[in-house]
Amino acid sequence: MKKYTFILAAFMLMGFIGKVKAQTDPAEFTGATAKLKHYDALYILNSADEKKIKGTLRNMDNALEDPRLKGKLHIELIVFGDGVAVYMKSGIYEQTLKDLLAKGVVMAQCSNTVRERKIDKNDLFPFISYVPSGNGEIIIRQYEGWAVVHP
Amino acid sequence: MKKYTFILAAFMLMGFIGKVKAQTDPAEFTGATAKLKHYDALYILNSADEKKIKGTLRNMDNALEDPRLKGKLHIELIVFGDGVAVYMKSGIYEQTLKDLLAKGVVMAQCSNTVRERKIDKNDLFPFISYVPSGNGEIIIRQYEGWAVVHP
Amino acid sequence: MKKYTFILAAFMLMGFIGKVKAQTDPAEFTGATAKLKHYDALYILNSADEKKIKGTLRNMDNALEDPRLKGKLHIELIVFGDGVAVYMKSGIYEQTLKDLLAKGVVMAQCSNTVRERKIDKNDLFPFISYVPSGNGEIIIRQYEGWAVVHP
């Protein structure tokens, strides 16, 4: 009995020392550690601002290339409201989207936005999918355990 | 033993085929599936921008009407910072808020904002509630398993 | 058997009454209740806008001071994109950051941003830490159970 108590105390002390070290030496801090084999993330885009769109697409790529997540991350991009600009054939994002598509990203569009704005689906890229509502997608994915990122 | 290995292999193959199908046929993708009986979502509003306020309230309604969530979704709206404009009696949002209230939405306001900005509570709608801090609400609700949406 | 059924029914009734009360009396609603002993939150900053930066830092302080979370909340601030302005020695945020540092906040910076923008690390505060990508941090922390706040 005494032996186990001692071992337990030793482990607790090690944990304590580790914690103190982490807090006093920020230079050695390298962020969270990815311990799982698979991660799902839903990226949100609801703006037509070029800087915001380019930033979101670049952020998705950065996450896919993060050494902690590389080869383990699946991304879905959910677009609603003004964000629909990113899927317009007349826009400037085709190549970036295709590069992300090649990395397994699923491109989803809110059907409400398309209907409310009377957008012709033929004006949008053929490789996108439609979900009933972007907001419903955000809520359900969180309940499924997905991470959500809205840069 | 062999028999079980075979069954296991068969299942893995089925899973693999299903995955390939999902990835090559985006047109059939209809988004996440709502498998639970109840969902809770916290909507965040911290902007006075009319477009942002109207968009957030419309998004809440879209989520409540999403066929995947209809009748299963409970929403709380947490307002802080500039977002307090939405609750001002002098504003233009009374009817939209009352429509959402009739759908069971709980309207919450950050007490810090009211105190820091010396806002008279009589200038805000009587049907709202007050929480110690909007940010505390966001953190605790996530720990309670709620989905969080900040459009 | 009957006795237990009765007790069960009594408890269900109490729950029902409590729920009705909560929904009809918003004035008494005081928000979520913090039932755990410890909470972790990741705050996101990716904007150089002074109002957004000051608001985010103030929000972090509000969460730390929320009576529901006081003494139980640990915060990490993850900065990427334009948000890097907050860590610039030439900026105006040193004292506010040091106040938060004294409250145990960990300051993290996305390495991609620093590399892509060719920022000299000597121009940033020495008390910050670097993570491979801000977006990877956001995803992994959510999988670790952290709350995420992007004001």
**The pLDDT of residue C27:** 54
Point out which residues pair with B77 in neighbouring strands. B43, B107
**The pLDDT of residue A20:** 41
Chain C: closest CA distance from residue A129 (Å): 23
What pLDDT, in 10s, does the model give residues A19-66? 444 444 555 677 999 889 999 999 999 999 999 999 999 999 999 999
**The pLDDT of residue A106:** 98
Strands ordered across the beta sheet of B147-149: B129-131, B106-110, B73-79, B39-45, B147-149
Q: Is A150 on the interface with B (CB under 8 A)?
A: yes
- Token pair 């992994």 is found at C140
What pLDDT, in 10s, does the model give residues A93-143? 999 999 999 999 999 999 999 999 999 999 999 999 999 999 999 999 999
Chain A: closest CA distance from residue C86 (Å): 17
User: Who has greater pLDDT, A89 or C8?
Assistant: A89
Please provide the distance, in angstroms rounded to a whole number, between the alpha carbons at the two ends of chain A.
53
What pLDDT, in 10s, does the model give residues C10-46? 555 554 444 444 444 555 677 999 889 999 999 999 9
Helix, strand or coil, per DSSP, at residue C99? helix
Nearest to C150 by CA among C42, C32, C39: C42
* Chains in contact with B, counting 3 or more C-beta pairs less than 8 Å apart as contact: A, C
- Is C140 close to A65, i.e. CB distance below 8 A? no
- Per the prediction, chain C carries an average pLDDT of 89
Nearest to B134 by CA among C66, A142, C25, C73: C66
Please provide the distance, in angstroms rounded to a whole number, between the alpha carbons at the two ends of chain C.
52
**The pLDDT of residue C29:** 75
Nearest to A81 by CA among A57, A51, A106, A115: A115
Q: What are phi and psi of C127, to 5 degrees?
A: -90, 10
- Is B137 close to C62, i.e. CB distance below 8 A? no
Q: Which of C23, C31, C147 sits opposite B143 (nearest CB)?
A: C147
Q: Is B91 on the interface with A (CB under 8 A)?
A: no
Residues of chain B contacting A84 with CB distance shorter than 8 Å: none
Give pLDDT tens digits along chain B (151 positions).
Answer: 556 665 555 555 554 444 444 444 555 677 999 889 999 999 999 999 999 999 999 999 999 999 999 999 999 999 999 999 999 999 999 999 999 999 999 999 999 999 999 999 999 999 999 999 999 999 999 999 999 999 9
Pairs from A119-127 (Cβ < 8 Å, separation ≥ 24): A119/A84, A123/A88, A123/A89, A123/A90, A124/A84, A124/A87, A124/A88, A124/A89, A125/A87, A125/A89, A125/A94, A125/A97, A127/A97, A127/A98, A127/A101, A127/B26
Point out which residues pair with A40 in neighbouring strands. A74
What pLDDT, in 10s, does the model give residues C108-150? 999 999 999 999 999 999 999 999 999 999 999 999 999 999 9
